[in-house]
Amino acid sequence: MQFDLTSDQTMLADAARRLSEENLEPVLAREPAGTPLSKAAMQEIYGYLADFGITAARLPEEFGGSGLSMLDYGLVMEQLPAVVALSLLSHDGSTVRFNAGADPAVRAAYLDDFRSGRKIVCTANSEPGAGSDSNAISTRLEIEGDRAYLTGTKMWITNASVCDCMIVSCSAGRDDRGRPVPQRVLVDLSQSRVGLAETPLAGLKQGHLCEVTFDRTEVPLSHLIGTPGDAGKYMTIVWNANRPLIGLMALAIARRAYDTALAHVTERRQFGAPLAARQLIQQDLSDMEAMLTSARLTCLMALATLDTGARSNGLSAMAKRLATGNAIKVIHTAMQLCGGMGITEELGLAQLWADARVFQVPDGTQGILALIHGRDITGTAAWR
């Protein structure tokens, strides 16, 4: 068991930090802070990500992927601006879902553009009545001759308003138990008519979260991916990696809040001494550091476990739940330590809290993550 980074991992993390500071953050800084980034800005960002080699980090090397281990990918992701990291997570995971089962001719037509970041791709899965319960998906796939048609509504779709293509989860009918048979479909927005509406959020305001509407949206039959019923398998494979990665993103935000609070209590003097000299302040700082460190190590362990090929449903769920929960607690304490400054826009801690809070929703809310972990512990599923 090795807790120290190798020299290569240290260099990789440092390079990712420079990528953020020198290329990505300047793009975010020149765009309006309270509105989603423009498509031009996203294309510029994806150009930098492609040059760094991470637009298809999870794609197998035989298909032109980066060959990064999941652990190394995590070390990169925690260095990226949160809004960029979340977008990349959607794009990269969607590329994996597309590649697994796409028709060879369709793969040849799209994969290089996804891999190079020239085209952004996302996954449309959640619906008004189907979030954690993927068996409740009601978006319909109807096949007529050599064409297919999609009808339904998707919600909370990351990247939808700036993407070029979507991997849509839909129902290809019902099985013998009356459950929907999940099917993946590639929708090219340059060829198919889709309704899009941005969903304003309290946090990550420069990001893109949308409602997507399909009204007998026509797609070529060749754009069906994989076989009916296999969509859930590939969703789970991607989710198991996404969850600890999301945990690391939330912790990176919380670390900024911790650093802000530490600087404040070191400089701020009350009753003749720096706040940092007070016992309760030191206890808070110790608790914050412990929460950050323990959750980060759990996320890294989950990613390292994936690298061994082991099944990690429960561990990945636990990692995200612990990390996002701890991140919120750390930022809340940071606001307390900063007193009146903690609730000002000037210090920005309230916005950090809102940004981190967003990460408790994608790829499993706190409750469903606890049930996934509990299923691994007990061997019994709580929801069916």
What secondary structure, in 3-state letters, does 68-93 show? CCHHHHHHHHCCCCHHHHHHHHHHHH
HSE, side-chain direction, 13 A CA sphere, residue 212: 35
Element (H, E) at 20: none
HSE, side-chain direction, 13 A CA sphere, residue 371: 11
CATH of domain 7-116: 1.10.540.10
Q: How far, in Å, are 64, 105, 168, 204, 246 from residue 355 at the CA level?
A: 33, 40, 26, 5, 12
CATH of domain 233-378: 1.20.140.10
Strand 269-270, strand 195-198: pairing: unpaired
- Placement of tokens 């600087």 in the chain: 263
What is the spatial distance between Cα 156 and Cα 240, in angstroms, rounded to a whole number? 19
Token readout for 235 is: 């969703």
Contact between 46 and 117 under an 8 Å Cβ cutoff? The reply is yes
121-227 and 7-116 share a CATH fold: no
pLDDT of residue 307: 94
Domain residue ranges of the chain, discontinuous segments joined by +: 7-116, 121-227, 233-378
What is the spatial distance between Cα 99 and Cα 165, in angstroms, rounded to a whole number? 13
Contacts of 208 (CB under 8 A, 6+ apart): 36, 37, 42, 87, 158, 159, 160, 161, 162, 198
Q: Is 346 buried (19+), middle (13-18) or exposed (0-12) by CB count in 10 A?
A: exposed
Element (H, E) at 23: none
List of E strands, the chain: 121-124, 140-144, 147-158, 165-174, 180-188, 195-198, 209-220, 224-225, 269-270, 273-274
Residue closest to 150 by CA, chosen among 95, 93, 194, 191: 194
Chunked into runs of 10 residues, the chain (384 residues) has average pLDDT values of 87 98 98 96 98 94 92 97 97 95 96 96 90 79 92 96 96 79 94 94 95 96 88 81 97 98 90 83 96 98 94 94 98 95 92 96 91 91 76
Token readout for 160 is: 């939808």
- Fold of the 121-227 domain: Butyryl-CoA Dehydrogenase, subunit A; domain 2 (2.40.110)
Contact between 65 and 115 under an 8 Å Cβ cutoff? The reply is yes
Give CA 322 to chain center in angstroms. Answer: 16
